[in-house]
């Protein structure tokens, strides 16, 4: 993965696969640390799976035998001096937290985070995404439910809405 | 925070859009619109699926084509990523492989607008990705 925005999209995709109805994405910037937290209320995993999940040859999918999303995230976080934490409970959901030290020379660039987040929201109309952006004392939060309320029945996946949401999020980054 | 202003802008856009969709479609059922699903798993993302999806959204928006663009997981065609599934109203879904922005533009111009088939279709016998 070339940048953080790709990781974000990729990890959130796991939540969608886990059948989550709500996915919370939080990006917290403080000094030289970026903490990216993705938590969902999907099917979760048992402890054995949590312990093995960063092994690239472990995956729950059947269409292919490798699962590279979390191993890549772990590699990119650890090469900056950061780490990842995964907690999960079966039937309750999963939380993935990745810490990046953004001033490290090996930290991948942030990439187009606004576009990843907007595609998640508009590309998965049945899931409520809660997006939280915390920069020092400034906080911004928006959710798919809020947007859907305003839209009054127009599908969130309509291209016009997609462009709007992307531009709205771009202003916040 | 600018969220309130943003949501007001969104209301404005909704009102404009409502008039247009109703005029053209006479209903706001997504089934009557072109449906596009972009495969967005690790393999797709690494091959540029996000750029393809962004491009499709921009292009459909600027050409005012009513469509719904959503995401789906890995379809098992990792060798042909980015892949997209296009369902025209009343027709069976078609899956296209290796859809970069150039191919996406071709699919919009030829298949979505004129119903002409373009190269790169991945033949299969399923009804829709979700049912797989």
Q: What residue ranges do the domains of chain B occupy?
A: 1-27, 33-131
Walk along chain A (173 residues) and give the pLDDT tens digit of each residue.
889 999 999 999 999 999 999 999 999 999 999 999 999 999 999 998 898 888 888 888 777 777 888 999 999 999 999 999 999 999 999 999 999 999 999 999 999 999 999 999 999 999 999 999 999 888 899 999 999 999 888 889 888 899 999 999 998 88
Closest CA to A162 of A111, A129, A115: A115
Closest CA to A4 of A39, A45, A33: A33
Q: Which helix (H) or strand (E) holds B20?
A: helix B3-25
Among partner residues B18, B57, B76, which is closest to A159 by beta-carbon distance? B57
The ranges of chain B with pLDDT < 50 are 1, 23, 26-27
**What sign for the dihedral angle of Cα B25, B101, A24, A114?**
negative
Asked: is A4-110+127-143 a CATH 3.40.1000.10 domain? The reply is no
What local confidence, expressed as pLDDT, does residue B58 receive? 92
Neighboring chain A residues of B43 at a CB cutoff of 8 Å: 64
What local confidence, expressed as pLDDT, does residue B1 receive? 45
ipTM summary value: 0.83
Instruction: For residue A129, list its beta bridge partners.
Output: A23
Interchain CB distance below 8 Å, A150 and B7: yes
CB pairs < 8 Å spanning A and B = 124
CA–CA separation, A148 and A127 (whole Å): 11
What chain A residue is nearest to B37 in terms of C-alpha separation?
A123
Give A169 to chain B, closest Cα distance, Å: 10
Interchain CB distance below 8 Å, B28 and A155: yes
Answer left, alpha or beta for residue A152, where phi above 0 means left and psi between -120 and 50 means alpha: left
Interchain CB distance below 8 Å, B3 and A140: yes
Enumerate helices (H) and strands (E) in chain A, giving the number of each: 6, 6
CA–CA separation, B23 and A86 (whole Å): 49
C-beta separation of B132 from B126 below 8 A: yes
In chain B, which among 22-81 make CB contacts under 8 A with chain A?
A: 28, 30, 33, 38, 40-43, 45-46, 50, 53-54, 56-58, 60-61, 65-71, 73-76, 78
Neighboring chain A residues of B32 at a CB cutoff of 8 Å: none
pLDDT 10s digits, B7-44: 888 888 888 877 776 545 544 555 678 999 999 998 99
Q: Residue A58: CB partners within 8 Å, gap ≥ 6?
A: A49, A52, A67
CATH number of B33-131: 3.40.30.10
Give B115 to chain A, closest Cα distance, Å: 20
Give A48 to chain B, closest Cα distance, Å: 23
Q: Residue A114 has which token pair?
A: 């606004």
Q: Residue B20 has which token pair?
A: 């247009």
What local confidence, expressed as pLDDT, does residue B129 receive? 61
């Amino acid at each position: 993965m070339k940048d953080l925005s790709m990781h974000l999209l990729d990890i959130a995709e796991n939540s969608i696969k886990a059948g989550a109805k709500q996915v919370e994405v939080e990006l917290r910037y403080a000094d030289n640390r970026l903490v990216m937290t993705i938590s969902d209320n999907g099917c979760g995993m048992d402890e054995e799976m949590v312990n093995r999940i960063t092994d690239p040859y472990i995956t729950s999918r059947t269409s292919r035998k490798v699962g590279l999303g979390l191993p890549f995230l772990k590699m990119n976080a650890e090469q900056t001096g950061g780490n990842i934490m995964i907690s999960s409970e079966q039937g309750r959901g999963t939380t993935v937290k990745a810490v990046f030290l953004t001033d490290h020379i090996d930290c991948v660039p942030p990439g187009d985070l606004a576009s990843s987040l907007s595609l998640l929201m508009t590309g998965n109309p049945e899931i409520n995404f809660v997006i939280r952006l915390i920069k020092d004392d400034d906080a911004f939060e928006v959710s798919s439910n809020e947007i859907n309320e305003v839209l009054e029945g127009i599908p969130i996946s309509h291209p016009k809405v997609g462009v709007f949401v992307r531009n709205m999020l771009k202003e916040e980054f | 925070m600018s969220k309130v202003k943003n949501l007001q802008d969104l209301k404005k856009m909704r009102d404009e859009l409502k008039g247009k969709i109703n005029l053209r479609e006479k209903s706001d059922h997504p089934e009557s619109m072109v449906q596009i699903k972009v495969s967005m798993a690790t393999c797709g993302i690494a091959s540029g699926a996000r750029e393809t999806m962004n491009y499709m959204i921009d292009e459909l928006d600027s050409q005012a084509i009513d469509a719904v663009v959503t995401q789906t997981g890995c379809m098992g065609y990792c060798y042909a990523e980015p892949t997209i599934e296009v369902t025209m109203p009343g027709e069976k879904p078609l899956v296209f492989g290796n859809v970069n922005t150039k191919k996406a533009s071709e699919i919009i111009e030829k298949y979505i607008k004129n119903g002409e088939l373009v190269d790169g279709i991945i033949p299969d016998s399923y009804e829709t990705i979700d049912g797989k």
